[in-house]
Structure 1
Amino acid sequence: MKTGRRLWNYALQYKKLLIWAVVLLIIAVGTELTGPFIGKKMIDDHILGIEKTWVKASADDPGAVRFRGHDYVREDRLKPGADKTGEAHIYQVGAGYYFVDRPVSFDGNRSVSDGRLTISNGKESRSYPAITLSRQEIFQFYRPEIKGLLTLTAIYAGLLMFSVCFHYGQHYLLQMGANRIIQRMRQDVFSHIQKMPIRYFDNLPAGKVVARITNDTEAVRDLYVTVLSTFITSGVYMLGIFTALFMLDVRLAAVCLLIIPILMIWSVVYRKYASVFNQKIRSINSNINAKMNESIQGMPIIQAFRREKETMKEFEELNEAHFRYKNKMLSLNSLMSHSLVNVLRNLAFVGLIWYFGGASLSAAGIVSIGVLYAFVDYLNRLFQPVTGIVNQFSKLELARVSAARVFELLQEEETEEEGAPADRKAEGTVEFRDVSFGYRKGEEVLKHISFTAEKGETVALVGHTGSGKSSILNLLFRFYDAQKGDILLDDKSIYGMSRQELRSHMGIVLQDPYLFSGTIGSNVTLDDQRISLEQAEEALRQVGAASLLQSLPKGIREPVTEKGGTLSSGQRQLISFARALVFDPAILILDEATAHIDTETEAVIQKALQVVQEGRTTFIIAHRLSTIRHADQILVLEKGRIIEKGSHDELMAQKGQYHQMYELQKGTAKSAV
């Protein structure tokens, strides 16, 4: 599905908000765009209306003006059926006004000399006796217009207030809808990540994933919050303005329609170059995030091996590339931004005023002064939304590229299907039947693995690095799926149950325990409402963490920073053990769980494990073979195959590889002592 269609589908999820926002916007724009029409009426009917034909009337006629013993009223304001006598005219020439008390044949270029008004139109020219009006007399003729002008002004002010209220409503709804859309998108992305296979994160730095969830979705947010609102607002404005222009003059409006194809060509040219630049910018930005994340995580190593300069140099190369492409975008935006809109606006004004404005002042009078004013006003307003659209091109392209990156992540195949935890606890019998597996196609790391772990047994996996120990547990958890063979839990294939159901039977303790921001208690219970703090405390005591709780001021409610940086390795491991035990799993996985623990703490844990392993199937990966002597079954792996199998005593009696490894470690330990 194309990026634009997916963005549209997200918008449709909140279409009611957006539709109401557009309705309010149309009302607001409609009321606001009445301004030039009101201005046109003020000019043509009231300000320039004084030059319309006047006739003699009685003093009680509405709008009658007393001038030199006679009452005059505008011809267009006579009562229906009233007699028209004593035609008169008022003409403005320069800064002066002149009264002519007789009919005038035509209008045209005007001039005054020796008390006579001369009007010329082409080859024709006529002269009339004219009376110069004083300021007081001019005001008398304008007095009937004051009420109309004040009424129109009040109507315009009322419409503006009305428009402001609707603008607030549409802005609020549009922004709310945009925020809801991006909230849903972030939820979808984060939810999708929870369901993605572990293999996806094997080759993708965490910083790049974070950049897509935060930076890229923030850029998409700008699309809905800023770009979408600007485009909708500008589109409605332009539609309303073109409607008004066609109502005023079809020919003038037709000329202005040229702006639409220019804007479309403009958009295509801009997108051609901006898309490339933005793609590079977002990619480099992800690399910067990944580099920063890697540097922060590995700061102890960087400082210990004095790699600060080299790390800084690598970062500067990325930063310089980001700066270079940002400058290219800046140049593109400067070339094709509002400055170019201003050039088009000025050219449009020059052409329209020269061609149409000059004609309006001639005798032919193609358009009235009021129409010309309204048209120029609308034309000026027309370029405001055009400027708004052009200024959003950069954000539009950035959001489009960012959205493509987000949707690329959403299109990654999910493996974590929906499922509920098991409704009953498993017995714990695990069987591997001729299982083969490889992380990459054609490269098997496990070959024909077969064994059975009975309920309550402890199975230890030993072997050199890369022999396949962790891969067996990865398959058991279904972090990965085997290419060949089958794995059974209580005689039922694990591929016939959901991952959620399978993992509800299991608990795990890793070599490097991970603690989340929160408290000791929340790290043990993982905020599972089914587990109380009392149960968490009991689990901590079982693993020998009673002294830890007593040493902390707030006990189980003691705050924990990310990764548990304020706790020792042994304390973090004890919390990790308690986390696994409190869920009461049928199968317990210990992946090098005692590797980072001192001898005294290990003795405490080993004692606790003898209790908690009872009735549970336990898998242990250990390099220190002295910790697994009690195991019911020891599997010795080499290059993905099980080469020896049995108890400690049985394997020692075989004098095979396990015997060699054990004796080697025993000798190394004695030498160390």
Structure 2
Amino acid sequence: MTPTDQTISNDSGIAKRLFRYALTAKGTFIAALIMLAIGVAAELAGPFIAKNMIDNHVLGIEKPYYETTSAEQAASYNGKYYKRGDRFKEGESQGQEVRILQAGKSFYFINEQVVRAEGERTFRDGTMTITYGSESAQYPAGKLSTSELFAFYEPELPDIYKLVGLFLIAILVSMITVFAKTYWLQSSANRVIQKLRTDVYAHIQRLPVHFFDNLPAGKVVSRVTNDTEAVKDLFVAVLSNFASGIIYITGVYAALFLLDVKLGLISLFVIPMLIIWTVLYRKFATKYNVIIRSRLSEINAIINESIQGMPIIRVFRRQKATQEEFEALNEDYMAHQNKMLNLNSLTTHNLVNVLRNISLVVILWYFGAASLDGTGIVSIGVLYAFVDLMGRMFQPITGMVNQLAALDSSIVSAKRVFELMDETGERVTDGSMPRYLGNVEFKNVSFAYKKDYVLKDISFEAKQGQTVALVGHTGSGKSSIINLLFRFYDPQKGTITIDGQPVTDIPKQWLRQHMGIVLQDPYLFTGTIASNVSLGDAEITREQVNKALSDVGADRLLAHLPQGFDEPVIEKGSTLSAGQRQLISFARALAFNPAILILDEATANIDTETEALIQDALEVLKKGRTTFIIAHRLSTIRSADQILVLHQGEIVEKGSHDDLMELRGRYYKMYQLQQGSVQQPKDDKEAVAAGTAVNLATGNA
């Protein structure tokens, strides 16, 4: 498959998916298209009304007149009444034929039958000469004054007024339908994009946690906001212009063929040119737009990263380096925007104008000259209507071509959105399960993120109500065990059970419903202290929130706040101290009453004074639940029922604090170093061992 075929195939798939989204607002879309069709019909009625006015009323004065005795629809001239031949009723008698013909800027009365009125006309010395090719004819004629000429136009005025009224009605209908079409298209597009954004955001919630390790948050945000907004342009501007353009062009061609078949056939050359134009344009535009949308995502990512890491940037004086990185991305973004600008400048409005002018020149050259010199194949009214219609046809073509950039950008953005939605998400299972007891068992579990195993043959059991501590240097596998327990990942070997049931048999949402976690750096959402405890869960009452905060001792640290538990919390809780954020996180875990609780270095960032309060809160939290603690401060886990010492993905020691101290192994050395009671090493080997133990204890290995 060639790149072009691949693009067409991709575009076809994207178009089908966008069409399915459009069906969510099909009622208003259909109403908008009906209004569009009515508006186009009303607008195209204008040239036909003008043609009728020109041929039948303005230039109709040159049709044969006959003398009559009735003044109805007749003109008075020299005491006699004359009526146009097509105004006589059936059976009404006709007198002498006369003609009103124009020569130059004046009109002349000829009191006899004119054999052929077409041709070049000249008037001299009371004689009208009409030359048609090599033939000529002369007729005696008298020049009409303004009042006499108006007498012949006066019978036409009622019909002219009717046509003007119809024209005004057509304009009014067109205005109303344009308003209705625009309103319904906009509202439909808003509804479709609302649905698309909701689906994208819902899918993000289902994506596995490891997906976000590989895609920066700014790029995800760009797809949910910028790319969906670009898709909105497809339903508003692009759909409006292309739908109205197609309907308009179809109506124009129908009108052209009704006026004259030959004229209609000649004008068909516009269609293949428009198709070729669109294909060639998109071949170049897609390449630029892919880079433009990608650079915009990268710009959002670097802005998000810079805001999140602003303290680090300032401390390490990385402002200039960060700005240069941003400027490089911005420069590349602008360069490709300029390439799109050049492409649009060369291929849109100006090229349409050239095409339109060429079309009009050809038409006027082929038909116009013949009509004007009297040898014509079409009437002046038909020619006027045709030129008017051709001019009107190029208006939607201009609109369509000018929207090619938005069309291509929308398709590229839609592709990026659908690529995100095509990422495999976790299956969402409705319902819930009863709160399990919390008996956890790992049986010969081995796990690798990529190729190398980070956990090797891990086996242990944690019974309901027990506290299990995980210790070891960075990279030893502590966090990996927790990731498996939460089912952020599943092991390649072995089984993990809760109350004897394999976790892989339990839907992930049900499993996590009865788990809670307190992180080393707790995350707080924008809202209030109370809302950060309940997280908006309707089942957690305000009384439960207050009790949870009081039980963990948070009321003592938060009592001085002006609004108490209703104190506003900004993003990440940056206005609160580390201890305050941690206690709020403890209260959150307590309020959700989990059967299994994970404390991930929950006291690592707490000062000594606050630590005592945190320890009391921990005792409240651990009561009656299975608790896993990841800790580097070994003094905080002395009361743990079981301590697992991990090294390079394996459990090298297992037991209570007293058991491990008696063993005098790795844990013993780590604890002694942290207590500052280790003896001075006697030789270099012991110095190396002690240094390694320090690293293990502090997590710097």
Deviating 4+ runs (over 3 angstroms): 668-672
* Deviation string, structure 1 residues 337-381 (Cα, Å, up to 9, x no partner): 101101111111111111111122244421111111111111110
Task: Give, in whole Å, the separation in 1 of the partners of 2:181 and 2:335.
Answer: 39
AA at the equivalent of 1:623 = H
Report 1:540-555 matches (<5 A): 540-555=549-564
Match of residue 517, structure 1, among 523, 526, 530: 526
Name 1:650's counterpart in structure 2. 659
The answer to whether the aligner puts 1:464 opposite 2:448 as a matched pair is no
Helix, strand or coil at the partner of 2:459:
strand
**1:153-192 residue pairs with structure 2 within 5 A?**
153-192=164-203
The equivalent residue for 1:84 is: 94
Contact in 2 for aligned 1:513/1:572 (Cα 8 Å): yes
Query: 1:132 corresponds to which letter in structure 2?
Result: K
**1:49 aligned onto 2:60:** yes
Q: Percent identity?
A: 56
Offset at 1:484?
1.2
Q: Deviations over 1:505-539 (max 9, x none)?
A: 11110111000001111100000001111211110
Amino acid at match of 2:490: D
Indicate which of 347, 352, 360 corresponds to 2:358. Answer: 347
Deviation at 1:593, TM superposition (A): 0.7
Partner of 1:6: 17
CA distance in 2, matches of 1:123, 1:601: 116
Match of 1:613 in 2: 622
- The alignment partner of 1:367 has SS state of coil
Establish whether residue 324 from structure 1 lines up as the match of residue 335 from structure 2: yes
Find the aligned partners of 2:623 and 2:322 in 1 and give their Cα distance. Answer: 50
| CA distance in structure 2 between the partners assigned to 1:537 and 1:670 by the alignment | 49
Name the counterpart of 2:460: 451
Counterpart CA distance in 2 for 1:73 and 1:553 is 96
Q: Equivalent residue for 1:31?
A: 42
Quick one: which amino acid aligns to residue 207 of structure 1? G
Counterparts of 1:459 and 1:584, CA distance in 2: 18
Once the two structures are superposed, the pairs formed by residues 213-362 of structure 1 within 5 Å of their partners are 213-362=224-373
What is the deviation of 1:670? 12
In structure 2, the residue corresponding to 1:130 is in which secondary structure? Answer: strand
Asked if 2 retains the 8 angstrom alpha-carbon contact of 1:55 and 1:86, the reply is yes
Question: 1:436-495 CA deviation, whole Å, 9 max, x = no partner?
Answer: 11111x211111111110010000000000000011001101111111111111111111
Q: Which moved more, 1:127-136 or 1:155-164?
A: 155-164
Paired residue for 2:115?
105
Mapped partners of 1:194, 1:669: distance in 2:
49
Provide the C-alpha distance between the structure 1 equivalents of 2:135 and 2:93, rounded to a whole number of angstroms: 31
Farther off after superposition, 50-59 or 659-668:
659-668
CA shift, 1:669, in A, is: 11
Aligned 8 A contact 1:194 1:416 in 2: no
- The residue that corresponds to 1:502 in the other structure is 511
Q: What amino acid sits opposite 1:539 in the alignment? A: A
- Give unpaired runs (5+ residues) of structure 1: none
Distance 2:457 2:195 in 1: 45
Report the CA distance between 1:16 and its aligned residue.
Answer: 2.1
Distance in 1 (alpha carbons) for counterparts of 2:617 and 2:286: 60
Distance 1:92 1:364 in 2: 16
Match of 2:393 in 1: 382
Structure-1 separation of matches of 2:74 and 2:426 = 88
C-alpha displacement of 1:611: 2.8
**Can you list the C-alpha shifts for 1:614-657, whole angstroms capped at 9, x where unaligned?**
21100000000000000000000011111111000000100111
Contact 1:419/1:499 (8 A) holds in 2: no
Provide the secondary structure at the position in 2 that maps to 1:258.
helix
Confirm whether residue 435 of structure 1 aligns to residue 445 of structure 2. Answer: yes
Q: SS state of the match for residue 553, structure 1? A: coil
Given that 2:367 and 2:376 are in contact with CA atoms closer than 8 Å, whether structure 1 keeps it comes out as no
Residue range with higher mean Cα deviation, 86-95 or 411-420:
411-420
Gaps of at least 5 residues in structure 2 are 1-9, 681-693, 695-701
**Aligned partner of residue 108 in structure 2, secondary structure:** strand
**550, 575, 593: which is aligned to 2:584?**
575
Letter in 2 for 1:609: L
How many residues are paired up? 669
Matched, 1:129 2:136: no
Amino acid in structure 2 at the alignment position of 1:81:
G
The Cα of 1:416 is off from its aligned counterpart by 4.5
Letter in 1 for 2:341: L
Change (3 A) 1:415 1:364: same
Summarize the Cα distance change of 1:345–1:56 in structure 2 as closer, same or farther, 3 Å threshold.
same
Q: Does 1:635 align with 2:644?
A: yes
How far did 1:233 drift?
1.4
* Aligned counterpart for 1:16 among listed residues 11, 27, 30: 27
1:59 maps to 70
User: Residue deviations 1:649-670, cap 9 Å, x none?
Assistant: 0001001111111111111899
